[in-house]
Structure 1
Amino acid sequence: MDRRTLRNLDFLFIFITCLLLMASLVILSTASTNVLKSDPWHYVKMQAAWIMIGIGAAAVLAVIDYEKWRTYRWWIYGFNILLLLIVFFFGADAKGATRWIATPFGFNIQPSEFAKIFIIVTLADFLAERKGKLNNYKDFILPFLFILVPMLLILKQPDLGTTLVFVAIFIGMMFVAGANPWKFGGLLLGGAVIVGVALWLHFSTNLPGWLHWAEGLPLPMHEYQLRRLTIFMDPAADMSGDGYHIIQSIWAIGSGGLWGKGYQMGTQGQLNFLPEHHTDFIFSVVGEEFGFIGTVTLLFLFLIFLLRSLSIALKARDTYGMLISAGIVSMYTFHILVNVGMTSGIMPVTGIPLPLISAGGSAMLSNMASVGLLLSVNLRRRRLMF
């Protein structure tokens, strides 16, 4: 790249990203202290290492013209499916799920995290070829089938949270690709109604005679996943079971007050009452120890991050770049809203981490790869005329 191209670099976006990465290390230095008592700084050191690797990956992806990925669409798509299939044959089990592949270097990788990036890059090209041709219901079939295969493989692991992220990515990119808003929106609304009715029938036990046959309607999901989708509406109904995470999280955030209890002074997190407080429920630690001011500050940084990402999408030089950016924005937005929502008790617990903040090597590398792709689109937002 020459100096004229580098003039397009979004320094505010880079600055906000760096602030979020630094916030991750600060928050993890208190959230993970008691997770591994033999090495209190284990997760901070691992996170710092993955951040450095992620910065390198982001830099490489930023230098590469994003248009080059179009040439390898089907290769990338096939590699994505292959990685997800390998999980079933050589995957490592943890907490009742098979989502990771063990490496000889002493750490595991989670292919479903990288699958999100692969599907964004490939679906963007698939939809770019069909922009302006997504006006009828039949036009939605092929894009849906394109994303359905990796979604089903991830759901089978099982990983409901990442499966839902795929849905968010698909919806965001379809609208940006020009899908008829009334027809596509109507399908989404109809699908939501069907899911709601199916859940109601599954958990119903005293239906009228003419609906008695539908009581306990079987659904293609594990029972614990179904309970997690509904327990947030009344977590007190199972305080020691599925509602435990939500109750502990609400107590943690609520007890922080305006300024919080102070660094490493929280009780729910430090005493390990709050499960997964270094990953899925790390936002609860922010609320408990840094209070309302801390949570608002973090959410403000995310807001600026998303606005800059959206600006990159709007200034993209072509449809492909815009769709890549839209997919990434959809992914980040869904992650943030659902993670904050589930820790606050207003959304189901789906096991979705807080991007750029939660501990996790695969998630951090995936997030930084997304940053690199956004920078690649941003750097090439205008064609050089001389």
Structure 2
Amino acid sequence: MKGVAHEGVLRKLLALNWSLVLLLCAVATAGFLMLYSVAGGSLEPWAEAQILRFGVGLLIMIAIGLIDIRFWRWMAPFAYAVSLVLLIAVDVMGVIGMGAQRWIAIGPLQIQPSEMMKIALVMALAAYYARLPVEKVSRPLWVLLPLLLILMPVALVMEQPDLGTAILLLAGGGAVMFLAGVSLWYFAAAIAGGTGLVAAVLKSQGTDWQLIEDYQFRRIFTFLDPSADPLGAGYHITQAKIAMGSGGMLGKGYMQGTQARLNFLPEKHTDFIFTTLAEEFGYVGTTTILVLYLLIIVFCIVSAVSNRDRFGALLTGGVAMSFFLLFAVNMGMVMGLMPVVGVPLPLISYGGSAMLVLLAAFGLAQSAHIHRPRGND
């Protein structure tokens, strides 16, 4: 029996999407190099910890991938419920850091439940639509529950406040609904409603019913005109543009970026690490990272399209779309195409919860790939 079990595990290991694993390792390696660079040529305090986290995350990804996808479909509502409870706990007893209450202490660990919710929401929506008959997908009654599943964590995350993660949850949930085949009329209505909400948010500034925090208004106005306050609210994006523009085609060379090394760049190891990469490796380096990101998405989409299990296909597609949103928002943010909302660059920015949750999400995609129906299944 042990021999049969070992053969089963070996067969699953061989069935892993190893091309995806190699792409993830390539992007993460670029992150290690950048963290080493922004620390002035030292593994401390960021690169060494990031390498350790990635190693642990890689093992988690493989372990999750070896577990039957039917187990994860069964676990989906529980994962969502636990993440929701933890988000509520953050509001009650969360740890405050950098002016926001986003973490919760569990023993010696500090976790960020909003990161967990990103994948738990995708799991819950994929499980919901996997059980729902196709003819009911766009009926109003059956659209209501997924909307509630999305809006509850969005509201809790906005309370922390964390506008960037709230946007990602909203967009990620909407992406799964789109992949499930929900009528485009709902999305048109959502866009119209979102436009009205933006107008209401701007109109609420300075009133008793102000809808977002003052610093979030500053980010919006800085996005619209960063030159209005280049040494204050516009400092981040102004320095980011200087760094990116100075890189040119080939960059200044590894560890030769002056903006980062002279500490002109804020958050150079987290949200704005892409600007350091652009300064040191130029257009060629940033394009290479973008190509690697797109290849990861392509491998996920190919796996999703070829998967005859609806839950596995929706889950893989949801993971791919959530991953796309992460790097698209970060790059748009540092290039001045979007307001600064505090979204890290996946697998490259320094961070614990974000990397582990992202690799766990790719583990779910691997599980869907390994255990997809074959032949006459």
TM-score (norm 2): 0.91
State the Cα deviation string for residues 338-371 of structure 1 (Å, max 9, x = none): 1001111111111000111110010110111011
2:11 pairs with 1:11 = no
Would the alpha carbon gap of residues 87 and 381 (structure 1) be closer, same or farther in structure 2, given more than 3 Å must change?
same
Q: Deviation at 1:124?
A: 1.2
Provide the C-alpha distance between the structure 2 equivalents of 1:299 and 1:305, rounded to a whole number of angstroms. Answer: 10
Alignment of 1:100-119 (within 5 A): 100-105=103-108, 108-119=110-121
1:128–1:320 contact (8 Å) kept in structure 2? yes
State the Cα distance separating 1:274 from its structure 2 match.
0.9
Q: Give me the whole-angstrom Cα distance separating, in 2, the residues matched to 1:217 and 1:171.
A: 31
Task: Quote the Cα distance in structure 1 between the aligned partners of 2:346 and 2:362.
Answer: 11
- 1:239–1:282: structure 2 CA closer, same or farther, 3 Å change rule? same
Partner of 1:126: 128
1:28 & 1:171 partners in 2: Cα distance?
A: 33
CA distance in 2 between counterparts of 1:62 and 1:177 reads 23
Q: Return the offset for 1:379.
A: 1.0
Q: Which amino acid aligns with 2:142?
A: D
CA displacement at 1:50 relative to structure 2: 0.5
Secondary structure in 2 aligned to 1:99? strand
Residues in 2 aligned to 1:384 and 1:14: alpha-carbon distance in whole angstroms:
25
Q: Secondary structure at the match of 2:135?
A: coil
1:273-312 correspondence runs (5 A): 273-312=264-303
Single out whichever of 149-158 and 342-351 deviates more from structure 2: 149-158
Moved over 6 A (4+): none
Measured in 2, the distance between the counterparts of 1:348 and 1:268 equals 21
1:99 counterpart residue number: 102
Match of 1:332 among 319, 323, 328: 323
**1:370 matched to 2:361:** yes
What is the distance in 1 between the residues matched to 2:235 and 2:144?
40
Between the two proteins, what is the percent identity of the paired residues? Answer: 37
**8 Å Cα contact 1:233-1:346 kept in structure 2:** no
The one of 26, 29, 32 equivalent to 2:36 is 29
Instruction: Look up the SS of the partner of 1:368 in the other structure.
Output: helix
Shift of 1:40: 5.8
Contact 1:279 1:354 in 2 (8 A): yes
Equivalents in 1 of 2:221, 2:310: separation in Å?
39
Amino acid corresponding to residue 112 of structure 2 in structure 1: Q
How do residues 186-201 of structure 1 correspond to structure 2 at under 5 angstroms?
186-201=188-203
Corresponding residue of 1:71: 74
216, 220, 230: which one pairs with 1:225? 216
Change (3 A) 1:137 1:232: same
Could you list the per-position Cα deviations for residues 56-101 of structure 1 after superposition, in whole angstroms to 9, with x for gaps in the alignment? Answer: 1101110011221222333222211221122233322111001112
What's the CA shift for 1:53? 1.0
Q: Does 1:47 align with 2:38?
A: no
Alpha-carbon offset, residue 325 of structure 1: 1.2
Of residues 24-33 and 132-141 in structure 1, the stretch that sits farther from structure 2 once superposed is 132-141
Q: Is the 8 A contact 1:238 1:244 kept in 2?
A: yes
Change (3 A) 1:103 1:264: farther
Given the superposition, is the C-alpha separation of residues 73 and 305 from structure 1 closer, same or farther in structure 2, using an over 3 Å criterion? Answer: closer
For normalisation by structure 1, the TM-score amounts to 0.89
Offset at residue 185 of structure 1 (A): 2.2
CA contact (8 A) 1:198 1:217 kept: no
Q: Count residues with an aligned counterpart.
A: 369
Letter in 1 for 2:231: S
Stretches of structure 1 lacking an aligned partner (at least 5 in a row): 204-214
Helix, strand or coil at the partner of 2:155? helix
CA contact (8 A) 1:124 1:320 kept: yes
Q: Secondary structure at the match of 1:351?
A: coil
1:244: Cα distance to partner?
Answer: 1.1
Are the equivalent residues in 2 in contact too, given 1:127–1:143 (CA < 8 A)?
Answer: no
* RMSD after superposition: 2.1
Query: CA 1:95 to 1:332, structure 2 compared with 1: closer, same or farther past 3 Å?
Result: same
